[in-house]
């Protein structure tokens, strides 16, 4: 697993892809938060907090992570190297987790420079350092879980086809359905309990819960469950391909 993980990381940083992905994530967030006028602009928002960043980041990652993960297995299948990988004395579980951790670590590296935003908002307030650190930490914590879920979906979508564009579209569609689809569906019901019940199946609801700074085991179990579910499906897919 470690060898596959290292291979994934090296493939990202021996080509412009890794730098491009990290740069794109930072540029998009920076433009929407600090330059472009609109709902996400921190200066227009009027409050020195990072709530707009944590509203924006899930949508940026919704497109960015499928772009990173689409080559995980699609490229291996297209080049014919997947068969060579599967006949090696390594379990499919380790192959899946090696690919997963490679993409996940790249996403975490993309997030690290955004910690400067915490310092920035700390100095933007009328009283220096007057911000809720618990909410910020909770939001970053929730974003890590959300990223893990997106990555597992992207890895699964990549295992379904040797066409990277198709894998990219599938990953976006599934991620969007799980993140926002249930919230959209809940709007069809006027009864509060029914609406909240449907929302509970969506990742957006659980992410917002963690982002409030309240760590609920139900939210953690939800994200871990979704992540391991798609990794399990990927493992089953690889086993079928190896037969």
Copy the structure tokens of residue 48. 């020195």
Q: What is the pLDDT of residue 63?
A: 92
How many DSSP H helices and E strands does the chain contain? 14, 0
pLDDT digits over 151-188, tens only? Answer: 999 999 999 988 999 999 999 999 999 999 988 888 77
Residues 6+ apart with CB under 8 A from 136: 49, 50, 118
Element (H, E) at 94: helix 92-111
- 60, 29 Cβ separation under 8 angstroms: yes
Copy the structure tokens of residue 42. 């921190």
Residues 6+ apart with CB under 8 A from 13: 19
Burial of residue 127 (CB within 10 Å: 0-12, 13-18, 19+) is exposed
pLDDT digits over 59-84, tens only? Answer: 999 999 999 898 888 887 777 777 77
Residues 6+ apart with CB under 8 A from 192: none
pLDDT digits over 188-237, tens only? Answer: 776 667 888 888 899 998 998 887 777 788 999 999 999 999 999 999 99
- 203, 222 Cβ separation under 8 angstroms: yes
């Amino acid at each position: 697993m470690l060898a596959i993980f290292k291979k994934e990381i090296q493939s990202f940083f021996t080509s412009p892809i890794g730098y491009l992905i990290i740069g794109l994530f930072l540029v998009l967030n920076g433009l929407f938060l600090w330059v472009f006028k609109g709902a996400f602009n921190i200066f227009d928002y009027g409050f020195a907090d990072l709530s707009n960043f944590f509203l924006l980041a899930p949508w940026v990652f919704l497109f960015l992570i499928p772009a990173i993960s689409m080559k995980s297995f699609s490229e291996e299948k297209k080049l014919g190297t997947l068969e060579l990988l599967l006949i090696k004395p390594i379990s499919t579980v380790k192959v899946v987790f090696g690919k997963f951790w490679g993409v996940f670590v790249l996403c975490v590296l993309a997030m690290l420079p955004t910690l400067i935003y915490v310092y920035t908002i700390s100095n933007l307030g009328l009283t220096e350092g007057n911000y809720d650190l618990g909410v910020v930490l909770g939001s970053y914590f929730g974003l890590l879980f959300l990223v893990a879920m997106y990555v597992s979906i992207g890895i699964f979508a990549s295992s379904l086809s040797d066409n990277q564009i198709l894998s990219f579209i599938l990953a976006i569609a599934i991620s969007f359905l799980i993140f926002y689809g249930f919230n959209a569906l809940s709007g069809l019901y006027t009864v509060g309990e029914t609406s909240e019940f449907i929302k509970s199946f969506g990742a957006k609801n659980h992410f917002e819960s963690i982002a409030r700074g309240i760590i609920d085991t139900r939210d953690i179990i939800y994200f871990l469950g979704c992540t391991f579910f798609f990794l399990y499906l990927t493992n089953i897919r690889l086993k079928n391909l190896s037969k």
